[in-house]
Amino acid sequence: MSLSMALTKGRLEKKTVEMLDACGYGTEALKDKGRALVFKDSKKDLEYFLVKANDCITYVEHGVADVGVVGKDTLLEGGKYYYELLDLEIGKCRFIVASLPENDLFNKVGHIKIGTKYPNVARNYFLSKGMDVEIIKIDGSVELSPLLGLCDGIVDIMETGATLKENGLIVLDTVCPISARLIVNKASFKLKRKEVMDLIHDLEQEVLRNAAALE
């Protein structure tokens, strides 16, 4: 049976395609894609869709895609009707709390405002610290919000740390590490068990090869 796979566009896309390539999958169409969004694998019985991270979860939850590759950041923020079966160990970064050096969030008395693209992650983090904060949802360039006085601090993704540094923000805490995960539709895991397990096996071997190469 054929498998359909939702891949997250953008930052994760190149690394995911490289990984599939290294596993011996036929990803030529994904590398020379123009404006197309659906691609057939040239070697395996597999079809790829390129979608935004949140939509990757939606397609998998609804069974339109049997499997998906998406960041743990997106998984932590929403969606739960899928199996998360493999850490691909690519797209590594972390969730952090940051602010201007003078905004000592954790010792501030009174109302605290936090800007973030990830309100659920931010809310859960501050609840775990016993802090009641106001969450302000922002869709991008989150680092700007404390600079302009919209909020006292942010919860965001940090990869290299360059964006924080260039905007004069400092890391106050790490919320958790993040990497890309393979998620699987619950029905597909039963009905296409062999195909899904073969894919997981191939990707797992590549995860191990990558880890060995780093040693």
CB atoms within 10 A of CB 151: 23
Kindly indicate which of the ranges 41-49, 57-65, 151-159, 175-183 contains the residues binding ligand PRP, using the contact rule CB under 6 A.
Answer: 151-159
Shortest distance in whole angstroms from residue 121 CB to ligand PRP: 12
3-state secondary structure 168-211: CCEEEEEEEEECEEEEECHHHHHHCHHHHHHHHHHHHHHHHHHH
Residue 155 engages ligand PRP in binding (rule: CB under 6 A): no
Residue 148 engages ligand PRP in binding (rule: CB under 6 A): no
**What binding mask, one character per residue, do residues 97-126 give for ligand PRP by CB under 6 A, x or -?**
------------------------------
Q: Which two tokens stand for residue 194?
A: 């062999």
Q: Which two tokens stand for residue 78?
A: 């929403």
Cα separation, 94 vs 91, in Å, equals 10
Shortest distance in whole angstroms from residue 49 CB to ligand PRP: 21
Cα separation, 169 vs 173, in Å, equals 12
Shortest distance in whole angstroms from residue 177 CB to ligand PRP: 13
Residues 123-142 that bind ligand PRP (CB under 6 A): 140-142
Residues of this chain that interact with ligand PRP (CB under 6 A) are: 140-143, 156-163
